[in-house]
Structure 1
Amino acid sequence: MISKLCQRFGGSATRSQEKRVFRVTKTGHLGAKILMMFSTVVLLSCNPPQKDYPLRLSTNSWVGYEPFYIAESMGYFSKDAIHLIEMPFSLTMDQSLRAGTLDAAAVSLSRALSLVGAGHDITVLMILNWSNGADQLIAHPSIKSVVDLKGKTVGAEENTVNGYLLQRALQINGLSISDITFKHTQNTDVADAFRAGEIMAGAVYGAEIPILLSLGARPIFDSSDIPGEILDVLIVRTPYLEQNPDKIEQLILAWFKGVDHLKHIAAGAKRPIGLMSDKAFKAAIRQIKFASIIDNTDFLQNTAKKLEALINLRLALTNSLGISRERSRTSQTKPLINSVPFFDAISKVGE
């Protein structure tokens, strides 16, 4: 059946077909989501991975990945060499990486650890950005500080940036997870749990923040209090990296050109077509920081000791949260970190 469908598409998934398949939003109907996931398998399976095949990079509609799309719009990389695929569902990305039909992805560090825990052979190449207030711990107005959470029920999603944010907030303020009643709550369910009185505070990001604020809750801690800790990273399948160093280098250089172009946009230059509306982009851009070449050098030099230390902290806090095996896919296995492609790429900046 798959082979017949591949023939129907001419044996190859085009860029426009990829866009139509993957640009299904979270609010889409269940049937549309199932169709999208099936179409993912069909279209990507039509093109078995080859050394001369374009690098297929998975992203989603998040301001932190916008430089990739700016780079595409500005022609900073060849579309014959790199394809950007917006893939909003993590399960689909997981399956595609496992099948070898995706080569690289822009993900949170938490997600990278989950992928390694699930058995993926991936390598972390560099830091893309970090949250600077985009992730928040928001509480009932009667709670004035993190210390006041002692004895209260707090919601957060395990094994994600939300759980990490909560853990760090407690740790910095002299508390531990045993000082609160922890309730596993997915990001999209935090506002409902707060409204129902099931939790007194919750760690959230994105659209849940204004909803909680409209209910009278107030932020008591956010990611700007732990700068450089809630990261997005660029990962690649290790076998692909070994076979295609030139394409990886082109992608890294294009990313930094896209980041540099954002500076011109901030100064008033017209923004090229991206994934987000101008209004959403301007609101979100204030709460993240894009990692510069200098930032990446800081994280990756000396065999990536700084990034390694952050990974160790993340794993230690994940374990102390007491995450259930059913919900957690993170193990103590650490991802490979290879800084060589980054340093090779930046050595050519200005050439």
Structure 2
Amino acid sequence: MTKPRLFSLTCAMFLLLGILAPAAAQADTPTFTVGWSVYAGWNPYFYMQKSGILKKWADKYGITIKVQRFDYAASLDSFVAKNIDACTMTNMEALDMPAAAGVDSTAIIVGDYSNGNDAVLVRNGLNFSTLPRKPIMLVQKTVSEYLLERGMVLNGQQAQLSKLHLINTSDSDIVAAFLNNKSNQAVVTWKPLVSQIVGDKSVQSIFDSSKIPGEIMDLLVVRTELLNTPNGQKFAKAITGAWYETIQQVASGQAAAIKYSAAASGDSTDSYKEQLKTTALFATPKSAVDFTTSPDLQKKMDLVRQFCFTHGLLGQGIKSVDDVAIAYPNGAIQGKKDRVRFRFNAAYMQAAQQGKL
């Protein structure tokens, strides 16, 4: 072989190695996927990725984190099936989906609680006494159903709960389905969908989550088995660090943060700002930690778990509400100690508070 050809071959080999080596290294990098769905408190995950904040924190811990948008119910199904590693969900769905399915899960970020974002909307002057037997559109087995029942109970209509006629409707279809058919008289959903629906002047809100503050929490939930691995702990630290850098920009009204968080759901910045007004954001780690370690959390979760049990949402063969137990940061357990399926872990939020991430 002549020297020029040998030189060319050597260069080609080094070039190929230069291409393959980073690819191989990337393939060895632990990769995690977070599922999120459209909601004022979760749209910042879109901005987190677009801004580079997520990559910065993932790089710090030598991992890769992806965020993926889903319809809400689909995100929960994907988490239960272990197709994604973490998922945004409410406290109720954490109980009636992964926990009920036997997937031991842990909330590592308590991002906010709904303070008016979820609402019961009606046409034709309906109220809680006239709702029974009327078709009510909502995503069943979610906080929409919980909100509806809490509204009925707090308005003296508990005896009429069995007469509610619920129509299960995907969150991606519910706005058009309600607005395009005037025979639909009631709908329960969350913002930005609520904002779109009440744009129709014939629609009124008769109850919203500001009447039950702190009961509908918005969380980031991770499989506990993953959290108990070294790489899982790296993921938890990275996503928590990225979250607080992101949410502080959103809460302070930084233009790019608001713009991209609004774009995540196809909203205008004005619409998104309006949604944030009814979202009780825990913009600082301290505020989140204080809420998560408060004794009131257990009282609110007891309302939720009792609802789930009454509706048979805690899984087949569950004979007692205590068969799906909840563990809290102070070591308290609600339910049977050997049946813990859902946990609140404040450690990563506390590390953020102390500047230790």
- TM-score normalised by structure 1 residue count: 0.70
In structure 2, what is the equivalent of residue 159 of structure 1?
Answer: 141
Describe the superposition over 1:306-331 as per-residue Cα deviations: whole angstroms up to 9, x where unpaired: 333322211212344577989xxxx8
> Matches of 2:180 and 2:343 in 1, distance apart?
42
Greater mean alpha carbon deviation, residues 290-299 or residues 256-265: 290-299
Is this contact kept in 2: 1:104–1:235, CA < 8 A? yes
Is this contact kept in 2: 1:136–1:203, CA < 8 A? yes
Is this contact kept in 2: 1:68–1:254, CA < 8 A? no
Change in Cα spacing, 1:118 to 1:179, as seen in structure 2 (3 Å) is closer
- Percent of pairs with identical residues: 20
What secondary structure, in the 3-state scheme, does the structure 1 residue paired with 2:58 have?
coil
Change in Cα spacing, 1:138 to 1:184, as seen in structure 2 (3 Å) is same
- 1:171 paired with 2:153, answer yes
> Matches of 1:252 and 1:141 in 2, distance apart?
45
Greater mean alpha carbon deviation, residues 112-121 or residues 315-324: 315-324
Size of the aligned set, in residue pairs, is: 298
In structure 2, what is the equivalent of residue 218 of structure 1?
Answer: 204
Paired AA for residue 130 in structure 1:
Y
Describe the superposition over 1:293-351 as per-residue Cα deviations: whole angstroms up to 9, x where unpaired: 2332233226xx4333322211212344577989xxxx8514122222322332226x8
Q: CA deviation at 1:117?
A: 0.7
- 1:343 paired with 2:350, answer yes
> Matches of 1:157 and 1:105 in 2, distance apart?
18
In structure 2, what is the equivalent of residue 119 of structure 1?
Answer: 102
Describe the superposition over 1:30-63 as per-residue Cα deviations: whole angstroms up to 9, x where unpaired: xxxxxxxxxxxxxxxxx7xx8x503322223433
Change in Cα spacing, 1:258 to 1:105, as seen in structure 2 (3 Å) is same
> Matches of 2:179 and 2:311 in 1, distance apart?
21
RMSD (Å), alpha carbons = 3.9
Change in Cα spacing, 1:180 to 1:192, as seen in structure 2 (3 Å) is farther
Q: Extract unaligned runs of 5+ from structure 1.
A: 1-9, 14-46
Describe the superposition over 1:171-229 as per-residue Cα deviations: whole angstroms up to 9, x where unpaired: 22222153572112224458757976776533223436634652713111111222222
Change in Cα spacing, 1:298 to 1:170, as seen in structure 2 (3 Å) is farther
Is this contact kept in 1: 2:105–2:224, CA < 8 A? yes
Is this contact kept in 1: 2:132–2:165, CA < 8 A? no
Change in Cα spacing, 1:342 to 1:209, as seen in structure 2 (3 Å) is closer
Q: CA deviation at 1:138?
A: 1.4
> Matches of 2:257 and 2:143 in 1, distance apart?
32
In structure 2, what is the equivalent of residue 28 of structure 1?
Answer: none
In structure 1, what is the equivalent of residue 85 of structure 2?
Answer: 103
What secondary structure, in the 3-state scheme, does the structure 2 residue paired with 1:348 have?
coil
- TM-score normalised by structure 2 residue count: 0.69
Q: Extract unaligned runs of 5+ from structure 2.
A: 1-19, 326-341
- 1:333 paired with 2:310, answer no
> Matches of 1:175 and 1:322 in 2, distance apart?
21
Is this contact kept in 2: 1:150–1:180, CA < 8 A? no
Larger Rg over CA atoms: 2
Alignment of 1:28-177 (within 5 A): 53-72=30-49, 73-75=51-53, 77-79=57-59, 81-89=63-71, 93-94=75-76, 96-98=78-80, 100-113=82-95, 114-143=97-126, 145-146=127-128, 148-149=129-130, 151=132, 153=134, 155=136, 156-176=138-158
Q: CA deviation at 1:170?
A: 1.6
Q: CA deviation at 1:241?
A: 0.8
Describe the superposition over 1:249-290 as per-residue Cα deviations: whole angstroms up to 9, x where unpaired: 222122111111113326x67756453446053453333222
Is this contact kept in 1: 2:37–2:43, CA < 8 A? no
Is this contact kept in 2: 1:177–1:321, CA < 8 A? no
> Matches of 1:231 and 1:166 in 2, distance apart?
16
> Matches of 2:167 and 2:209 in 1, distance apart?
19
- 1:289 paired with 2:296, answer no
> Matches of 1:318 and 1:86 in 2, distance apart?
28
Change in Cα spacing, 1:190 to 1:167, as seen in structure 2 (3 Å) is farther
> Matches of 2:347 and 2:115 in 1, distance apart?
27
Is this contact kept in 1: 2:89–2:218, CA < 8 A? yes
In structure 2, what is the equivalent of residue 259 of structure 1?
Answer: 247
Describe the superposition over 1:53-97 as per-residue Cα deviations: whole angstroms up to 9, x where unpaired: 033222234331233343341535235534232231456545654
Paired AA for residue 345 in structure 1:
A
